[in-house]
């Protein structure tokens, strides 16, 4: 991204429903023929499509600039390798190409039009440009492109707060779930004896009873990338809660168990 007009770009709209329910837009205005899910791009601009039952797609920008800096459209994760490509309309880049991050020059290449970042770290996020010498057009600077480095969620923990050493029927208990790392947005799901019981970072148990006894875990999830197709999950260690009925020997309390990490989609790190 961005796509370039000189690559003869064809956009295809995919989603629920039939192609007859497709509407395409360019810069916010209806574009092309109604009911066609393929669009050959002839003008630069920002394109979207809409299909009944799916809604509006993510925008795709198509550039016709003399010089562009392209980055992969996939979600970029911490530790990945990414290559930035500086391209010109006539493939006439000279021998000097410079790359900039947040308007500060990173490197000037005598021969080459690509910059590889490895391993990706959070500080690599930001706006990038490239500058090159185009024959008969002198020095040209590309428009900025944004690189966003995402961090999969990891190391979920449950913090009792406040939680007494002895837990009796009728008490109130609040549990908080937190993660050590993870790009926002992070969502939280609470499990009681393996069954989902609540959503959100806080689990508030009011006027508890012996039925609240058992193991508790929280599962933190973040979906990375614009389309959210890379999903990561981290499962906290178990917290065992034993509720003592009033009038019984004080044996109630909490203990901790093992920790688990999940990546059920199998396409990333957790």
- Return the SS3 of 80: coil
pLDDT exceeds cutoff 50 at 266: no
pLDDT attached to residue 260: 41
pLDDT attached to residue 130: 96
Compute the distance between CA of residue 113 and CA of residue 99 in angstroms, rounded to an integer: 9
pLDDT attached to residue 52: 81
Question: What does the pLDDT average to over 198-213?
Answer: 94
| Mean pLDDT, all residues of the chain | 85
Backbone φ, ψ for residue 243 (5° rounding): -100, 125
pLDDT attached to residue 20: 85
Q: Which of 50-64, 110-124, 236-250 has the highest mean pLDDT?
A: 110-124
Pick from 205, 94, 99, 224: which is nearest to 149 by CA?
Answer: 224
Q: Is the pLDDT higher at 57 or at 193?
A: 193
Task: Reply yes or no: is the peptide bond before residue 2 cis, omega within 30 of 0.
Answer: yes
Compute the distance between CA of residue 165 and CA of residue 252 in angstroms, rounded to an integer: 7
> What percentage of residues in the chain have a pLDDT greater than 70?
86
Q: For the segment 131-150, what is each residue's pLDDT rounded down to a tens digit?
A: 998 876 688 999 999 999 99
Query: Is 143 exposed, middle or buried, given 0-12, 13-18 or 19+ CB atoms closer than 10 A?
Result: middle
Q: For the segment 251-264, what is each residue's pLDDT rounded down to a tens digit?
A: 455 545 444 434 43
pLDDT exceeds cutoff 50 at 4: yes
pLDDT exceeds cutoff 80 at 27: yes
- Return the SS3 of 20: helix
Question: What does the pLDDT average to over 46-56?
Answer: 87
Q: Is the pLDDT higher at 171 or at 267?
A: 171
Task: Reply yes or no: is the peptide bond before residue 119 cis, omega within 30 of 0.
Answer: yes
Question: pTM score, two decimals?
Answer: 0.71
Question: What does the pLDDT average to over 83-107?
Answer: 89
Residue 138 gets the label, from left (phi > 0), alpha (psi -120 to 50) or beta, of left
Question: What does the pLDDT average to over 13-22?
Answer: 85
């Amino acid at each position: 991204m961005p796509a370039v007009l000189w690559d003869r770009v064809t956009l295809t709209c995919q989603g629920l429903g039939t192609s007859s329910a497709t509407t395409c837009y360019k810069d916010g205005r209806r574009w092309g023929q109604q009911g066609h899910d393929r669009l050959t791009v002839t003008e630069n601009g920002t394109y979207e499509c809409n299909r009944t039952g799916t809604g509006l797609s993510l925008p795709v920008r198509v550039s016709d600039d003399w010089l562009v800096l392209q980055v992969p459209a996939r979600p970029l994760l911490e530790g990945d390798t990414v290559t930035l490509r500086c391209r010109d309309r006539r493939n006439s880049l000279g021998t000097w190409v410079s790359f900039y991050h947040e308007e500060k020059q990173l490197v000037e290449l005598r021969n080459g039009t690509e910059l590889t970042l490895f391993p990706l770290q959070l500080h690599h996020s930001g706006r990038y440009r490239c500058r090159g010498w185009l024959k008969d057009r002198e020095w040209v600077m590309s428009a900025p492109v944004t690189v966003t480095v995402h961090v999969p969620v990891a190391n979920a923990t449950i913090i009792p707060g406040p939680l007494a050493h002895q837990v009796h029927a009728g008490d109130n208990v609040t549990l908080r779930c937190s993660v050590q790392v993870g790009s926002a947005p992070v969502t939280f799901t609470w499990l009681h004896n393996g069954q989902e019981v609540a959503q959100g970072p806080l689990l508030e148990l009011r006027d508890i009873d012996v039925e609240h006894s058992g193991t508790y875990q929280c599962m933190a999830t973040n979906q990375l990338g614009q389309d959210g197709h890379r999903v990561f999950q981290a499962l906290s260690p178990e917290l065992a809660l034993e509720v003592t009925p009033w009038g019984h020997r004080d044996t109630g309390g909490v203990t901790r168990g093992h920790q688990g990490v999940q990546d059920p989609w199998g396409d990333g790190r957790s």
